[in-house]
């Protein structure tokens, strides 16, 4: 016999049961309903996910969001497409709203996209009756005259399809990372997962970005790091639009990166170095940065720069399995890495040139001597003559770096060692033989894989590095591969550099993106639109393959058998060059610059100005 009120409760329960049958367990909505974009362009979509199921929807549980592609008539075009991580979990009974940056690598055209959730290898949501969301997409080609006209003031035509098409993608990646505050340009995000402006990424991308953005905008980025600089010269890792900043203290490359970033801007406007930030000249602030490294991060006995125990150039230490791994701590071990020394050496070299330009010979002499000291000790303590490359690092302690580490070829540290002038041509040739042998052994598609082989499983407790070939523990990073390519061009290994560069660009154009890193299977990981990688690849093309050289007073363009045309726009400077024997340069304004051409045999050419038009003729 029912208790009083039980009949009413039964009817209410039955009503809710049958009413609920009209609702899917999980429902997705997507705005806007109509989108027009270019291939590779970052688009922010707003999603609402309502979860009436009993399971927690989150990317760590292998629940991802993706889409199916149909034509406008509803016919299937491509079922499986790029997966994107959910930026936050959706608990049972909850509704989550979030903005998600997405991009498209499919062929240009008009489509219907059905957004759905997927548990990888198990099911799609729609197969379980979950409600999906459909939007229309008009996708424009990235490689198009309209994009060239609007976004590529510096442009080249080399006849090499991958290089010529690659410049469109690299430019798009920079555009995807523009950060604005109150409508004004603030800086570049490192990628889709990093909303801050990072100094190491800024230093890596400015060599290329300065051909597309006003000098004052780029100077503003570096000035923000000057403003956040400590009284003794210490440099922060990142700044953001609301005034916050912080530093991953296990690294020792932030100060060197600031000097290298400033160098690229000083080439265009050396007088900028004389100006002051908070009452201190920029040149003096650059010296303060390196002085802080010299005083606070230089071991007097070793006579080398020290940092935490990271994977080559990385910023996650072998200490804790969580965020504590980016800070020096009670578990830190002092290491002396090739990467940190090479960055410091390059920064000291550039500081010497800037000091000389401003006639500060005392500063130039001081850093010239210090640079020579670190060069000598880096060669003596870190170069493995029997292996043909520089070791990752030495570790303070009796074991002096776990001797099996000698077998690890660190691509990043060695690439920067080449850029610092630490390896002879013969040594680079030998390095390439070792690199090629290991690429073959491991079946690697590009030279961007950072550690050959990686550290063994569980060597690093942090989950990002715990598995070999993941993240900084041997993952594929184009901002490292690009540095190696750039170094090889400088050293005269043009054929190898061309091949490596085209392998990297082919991968990126196929994905219509530059991922932060990829695993050994070729799956893009981490942030989308990795700006530092785009910058160094652009540098490898302009300054490497095309050979554009600069000092404070002139551009130098090589002539050669492989023909190209190059239009350069940098600030108020603009000229058009082809590298045939007879070259013409259209100049809008080159008040302080002289355009010169040097043949590969070293025979110089001179410039004869004629009312905004210059003909360059062989001597």
Q: Is the pLDDT of residue 560 over 80?
A: no
User: Mind listing the pLDDT tens digit for each residue in 532-554?
Assistant: 999 999 999 999 999 988 888 87
Tokens of 151: 């976004």
pLDDT, mean of residues 175-204: 96
Query: In whole numbers, what is the pLDDT of the chain averaged over residues?
Result: 90
Our CA angle for 279, 282, 283, nearest 5°, is 125
pLDDT the model gives residue 2? 37
Helices then strands (H, E): number in the chain?
14, 36
pLDDT the model gives residue 193? 87
By CB atoms closer than 10 A (0-12, 13-18, 19+), residue 543 is middle
Q: Is the pLDDT of residue 419 over 60?
A: yes
3-class secondary structure per residue, 268-313: HCHHHHCCEECCEEHHHHHHHHHHHHHHHCEECCCCEECECCECCC
Band of pLDDT at residue 605, cut at 50, 70 and 90: low
Q: Which helix (H) or strand (E) holds 17?
A: helix 6-20
pLDDT, mean of residues 49-57: 95
pLDDT, mean of residues 107-121: 96
Domains observed in the chain:
23-140 (2.60.40.770), 554-618 (no CATH)
Q: Is the pLDDT of residue 320 over 90?
A: yes
pLDDT, mean of residues 214-230: 97
pLDDT the model gives residue 17? 41
Which residues does 440 contact at the CB level (< 8 Å), separation at least 6?
none
**What percentage of residues in the chain have a pLDDT greater than 90?**
81
Strand partners, 471: none
pLDDT the model gives residue 24? 87
Candidates 510, 503, 593; CA nearest to 556 is 593
User: Mind listing the pLDDT tens digit for each residue in 477-507?
Assistant: 999 999 999 999 999 999 999 999 999 999 9
pLDDT the model gives residue 252? 97
pLDDT, mean of residues 551-569: 82
Contact 187, 179 (CB under 8 A): yes
User: Mind listing the pLDDT tens digit for each residue in 455-467?
Assistant: 999 999 999 999 9
Band of pLDDT at residue 181, cut at 50, 70 and 90: very high
Q: Is the pLDDT of residue 400 over 90?
A: no
How far apart are the C-alpha atoms of 172 and 188, rounded to whole Å?
A: 12
Q: Is the pLDDT of residue 589 over 50?
A: no
pLDDT the model gives residue 20? 43
How far apart are the C-alpha atoms of 62 and 119, rounded to whole Å?
A: 6
pLDDT the model gives residue 16? 40
Query: Which carries the bigger pLDDT value, residue 19 or residue 364?
Result: 364
pLDDT the model gives residue 398? 66
User: Mind listing the pLDDT tens digit for each residue in 341-383?
Assistant: 999 999 999 999 999 999 999 999 999 999 999 999 999 999 9
Q: Is the pLDDT of residue 387 over 50?
A: yes
Please state which of the ranges 308-322, 434-448, 579-593 shows the lowest mean pLDDT. Answer: 579-593
Helices (H), 448-575: 478-491, 494-511, 531-539
> What are the backbone angles phi and psi of residue 286, rounded to the nearest 5°?
-65, -40
**What percentage of residues in the chain have a pLDDT greater than 70?**
89
Band of pLDDT at residue 587, cut at 50, 70 and 90: very low
Candidates 604, 582, 578; CA nearest to 159 is 578
User: Mind listing the pLDDT tens digit for each residue in 89-109?
Assistant: 999 999 999 999 999 999 999
Q: Which helix (H) or strand (E) holds 573?
A: strand 573-578
Band of pLDDT at residue 593, cut at 50, 70 and 90: low
Q: Is the pLDDT of residue 223 over 70?
A: yes
Q: Is the pLDDT of residue 15 over 50?
A: no
Find the farthest-apart pair of alpha carbons in the chain and give their distance in angstroms, rounded: 113
Query: Which carries the bigger pLDDT value, residue 522 or residue 614?
Result: 522
How far apart are the C-alpha atoms of 609 and 614, rounded to whole Å?
A: 5
DSSP string, 178-226: EEEETTEEEEE-SBTTB-SEEHHHHHHHHHHHTTTS-HHHHHHHHHHHH
pLDDT the model gives residue 170? 98
Residues belonging to the chain? 619
pLDDT the model gives residue 271? 94
DSSP string, 253-266: -HHHHHHHHHHHHH
Q: Is the pLDDT of residue 3 over 50?
A: no
Judged by DSSP in three states, 45 sits in strand
Q: Is the pLDDT of residue 219 over 60?
A: yes
Which residues does 523 contact at the CB level (< 8 Å), separation at least 6?
none
User: Mind listing the pLDDT tens digit for each residue in 136-173?
Assistant: 999 999 999 999 999 999 999 999 999 999 999 999 99
- CA-based torsion, 470, 474, 480, 482: positive or negative: negative
Contact 354, 290 (CB under 8 A): no
How far apart are the C-alpha atoms of 228 and 223, rounded to whole Å?
A: 9
pLDDT the model gives residue 120? 87
Query: Which carries the bigger pLDDT value, residue 485 or residue 607?
Result: 485
Tokens of 316: 């996650």
User: Mind listing the pLDDT tens digit for each residue in 125-146?
Assistant: 999 999 999 999 999 999 999 9
Helices (H), 86-198: 145-151, 161-176
């Amino acid at each position: 016999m029912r208790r009083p009120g039980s009949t009413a409760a039964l009817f209410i329960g039955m009503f809710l049961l049958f009413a609920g049958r009209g609702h899917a367990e999980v429902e997705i909505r997507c705005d806007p309903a109509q989108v027009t974009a270019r291939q590779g362009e970052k688009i922010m979509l707003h999603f609402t996910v309502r979860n009436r199921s009993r399971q927690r929807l989150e990317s760590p549980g292998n629940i991802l969001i993706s889409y199916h592609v149909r034509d406008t008539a509803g016919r299937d075009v491509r079922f499986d497409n790029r997966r994107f991580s959910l930026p936050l979990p959706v608990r049972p009974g909850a509704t989550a709203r979030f903005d998600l940056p997405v991009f498209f690598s499919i062929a240009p055209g008009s489509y219907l996209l059905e957004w759905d959730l997927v548990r990888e290898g198990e099911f799609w949501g729609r197969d379980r009756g979950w409600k999906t969301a459909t939007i229309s997409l008009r996708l424009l080609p990235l490689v198009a005259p309209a994009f060239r006209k609007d976004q590529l003031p510096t442009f080249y035509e080399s006849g090499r399809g991958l290089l010529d098409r690659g410049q469109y993608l690299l430019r798009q990646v920079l555009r995807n990372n523009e950060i604005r505050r109150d409508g004004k340009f603030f800086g570049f995000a490192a990628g889709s997962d990093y909303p801050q402006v990072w100094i190491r990424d800024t230093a890596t991308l400015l060599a290329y970005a300065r051909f597309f953005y006003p000098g004052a905008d780029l100077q503003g980025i570096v000035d923000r790091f000057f403003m956040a600089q400590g009284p003794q010269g210490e440099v922060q890792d990142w700044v953001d639009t609301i005034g916050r900043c912080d530093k991953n203290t296990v690294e020792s490359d932030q100060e060197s990166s600031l000097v290298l970033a400033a160098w690229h801007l000083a080439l265009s406007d050396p007088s900028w170095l004389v100006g002051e930030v908070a009452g201190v000249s920029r040149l003096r602030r650059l010296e303060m940065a390196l002085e802080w490294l010299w005083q606070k991060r230089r071991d007097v006995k070793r006579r080398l720069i020290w940092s935490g125990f990271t994977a080559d150039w990385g910023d996650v230490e072998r200490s804790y399995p969580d965020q504590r791994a980016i800070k020096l701590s009670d578990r830190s071990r002092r290491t002396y890495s090739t990467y940190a020394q090479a960055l410091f050496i390059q920064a000291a070299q550039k500081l010497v040139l800037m000091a000389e330009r401003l006639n500060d010979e005392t500063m130039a002499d001081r850093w010239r001597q210090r640079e020579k000291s670190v060069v000598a000790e880096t060669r003596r303590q870190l170069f493995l003559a029997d292996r043909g490359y520089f070791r990752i690092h030495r570790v303070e302690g009796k074991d002096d770096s776990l001797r099996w580490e000698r077998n690890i070829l660190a691509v990043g540290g060695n690439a920067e060692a080449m850029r610092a002038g630490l390896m002879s041509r013969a040594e680079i040739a030998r390095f390439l033989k070792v690199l090629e042998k290991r690429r073959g052994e491991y079946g690697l598609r590009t030279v961007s894989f950072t550690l050959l082989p990686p550290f063994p499983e569980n060597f690093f407790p942090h989950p990002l590095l715990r598995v070999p070939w993941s993240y900084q523990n041997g993952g594929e990073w184009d901002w490292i591969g690009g540095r190696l390519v750039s170094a090889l061009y400088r050293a005269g290994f043009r054929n190898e550099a061309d091949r490596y560069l085209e392998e990297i660009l082919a991968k990126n154009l196929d994905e219509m993106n530059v991922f932060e890193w990829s695993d050994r299977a070729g799956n893009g990981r981490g942030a989308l639109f990795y700006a530092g990688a785009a910058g160094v690849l652009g540098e490898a093309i302009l300054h490497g393959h095309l050979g554009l050289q600069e000092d404070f007073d002139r551009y130098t363009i090589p002539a050669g058998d492989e023909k190209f045309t190059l239009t350069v726009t940098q600030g108020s400077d603009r000229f058009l060059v082809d590298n045939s024997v007879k070259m013409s340069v259209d100049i809008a304004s080159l008040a302080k610059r002289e355009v010169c051409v040097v043949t590969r045999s070293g025979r110089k050419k001179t410039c004869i100005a004629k009312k905004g038009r210059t003909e360059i003729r062989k001597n």
